[in-house]
Every structure is written in C-alpha cells, then in structure tokens.
Structure 1
Amino acid sequence: MSKPIEITDPGLQPERTVIAWNRTMVSFLIASVVFLRWLPHYGAGVIYLVALSLLLALGIFASQRARYRKMSRGVRAERVSADVLAVLLTTGTVLSLGVCAIVIVLGP
C-alpha cells in the first residue's frame, strides 16, 4: 500500500477537485436511474443510456485516487495542469447521452 500524500495547499485544491468530480459522478448515477424510469415507455434502447451513464460514473470513481495524487503532486510542485482528457471524455459522453436520448424519444 502506498503512503499518503502530504497536502501543503492551504486552499485544499485537490480536495475541491475530487469533490467536484464526485458531484459529476453522482449526477451520472442519478441520470441512469432516471433513464431506467424511461424503460417501460421507450423500450430496450434505454439500456444503452443506462449503461453509458453507469460506465462513466464507474470510470470517474476508478480514477479518483490517481487524479487526487496527480493534483497533490502538482500543488506541491506548483505546476497543476487540467485533466483535459477526463473533461473531453465527460463532455463527449454527455453529448452522446443527449443525442441518444433524443433519438430514443423521437424515434419510430
């Protein structure tokens, strides 16, 4: 097991970032539950929306520790960079969910 990282940031930037990603993860979990409520009305296509939402929430959960470590080291070195890949993946997933939901709702 790795040793804990000492935080020297008085503003606790790594903690704020992790909390923001946790809110995003919870939002996707709630969206997946809402999509489940669509199942009787729109059919099996909704399972794709549920799976995509849950997959992104699981990805955020799985990457939290690594993201926290990276942010903590960046704060200590005074060189913090944004996690552009995570933001782009999240944005792409949200757009995909929106498009798929529109297709399912307006579909045949």
Structure 2
Amino acid sequence: MTDRALFDPGLQPERTELAWRRTALAVAIGSLLSLRVLPLALPPSAEAWGFAPGLLGLLAACGLWLAARRRQLRVSAVLTGASHGEAPGGGLLAALTALGTGFGVIAVVFVLVSVLS
C-alpha cells in the first residue's frame, strides 16, 4: 500500500482549516465589537485611539483567513505527494499568540488610561 492510499484528502486538513477560519471569525467579531465599544469607553481626548485595535484586528482576521487557506493547500500537497516540501510548522499559531498578547497589552493600556483620566 502506498502513502497516497493512506491519505484521506477531506478529513484532517479540512477540519484544521475550518478551525482556523472560526478563529479568524472570532477575531473579526471581537474587532468589530471593539470598534463599537472602545471609542465610547475612552476619554474624549483619546477617543480616536479606540479605533486602532479594531482596525488592526480586522486586518489580522483577514490575514488569518488567508493563511489558513494557504496552510491547508500546503498540507494537502505534502500529504498527497504533490509537493516534496515539509508540512507547515507552527508559524500561524505563533502569529496568533503574538496577536493575542499584543491586544492584551493594548487592553491593559486602555484600562489604565480610563482609570487615570
């Protein structure tokens, strides 16, 4: 039995891509909510800064969506033997971790600005 016969093209890679798409949608929804809430929660002098996290989050959600699709295509190509490269590593997960950490820092800054004003 060959390696290609062992590969089912529709299961694991597709489930993983769908999970990343759900993650991108969650980031997009959180970003849209922050566009609505943050400008109202900040003092009038810092109101314009309330739009920055939401816009960055929407850009990140688009990037996650595209990266998930690209990752799924690469994994499928490696598993079917169409590509002799390696399967993708944890770059997408590292990017999502950095994004979450960055937004956590931004949230702390916004809370401090709100409390100190």
Residue by residue over 1:6-31, the C-alpha shift from the partner in whole angstroms, topping out at 9 and shown as x without a partner, is: xx416711101111111110110111
Displacement over 4 Å in runs of 4+: none
Matched, 1:74 2:78: yes
Q: Separation in 1 of the partners of 2:16 and 2:88?
A: 10
Question: Structure 1 unaligned runs (5+)?
Answer: 1-7
Which residue is 2:68 aligned to? 64
Greater C-alpha radius of gyration: 2
Matching residue's letter, 2:34: F
CA RMSD of the aligned region, Å?
Answer: 2.1
Of structures 1 and 2, the one with the larger relative CO (CA 8 A, separation 6+) is 1
Which residue is 1:100 aligned to? 106
Q: Separation in 2 of the partners of 1:74 and 1:20?
A: 20
How many residue pairs get matched?
Answer: 100
Residue by residue over 1:69-88, the C-alpha shift from the partner in whole angstroms, topping out at 9 and shown as x without a partner, is: 111123224x9745321111
Q: Separation in 1 of the partners of 2:89 and 2:40?
A: 38
Within 5 Å, which residues of 2 pair with 1:1-108? 8-9=7-8, 12-36=11-35, 37-42=37-42, 43-77=47-81, 81-107=87-113, 108=116
Q: 2:74, 2:87 within 8 Å by CA — same for their partners in 1?
A: no
Residue by residue over 1:29-82, the C-alpha shift from the partner in whole angstroms, topping out at 9 and shown as x without a partner, is: 1111221222111122221210221111010122233212111123224x9745
TM-score normalised over the length of structure 2? 0.73
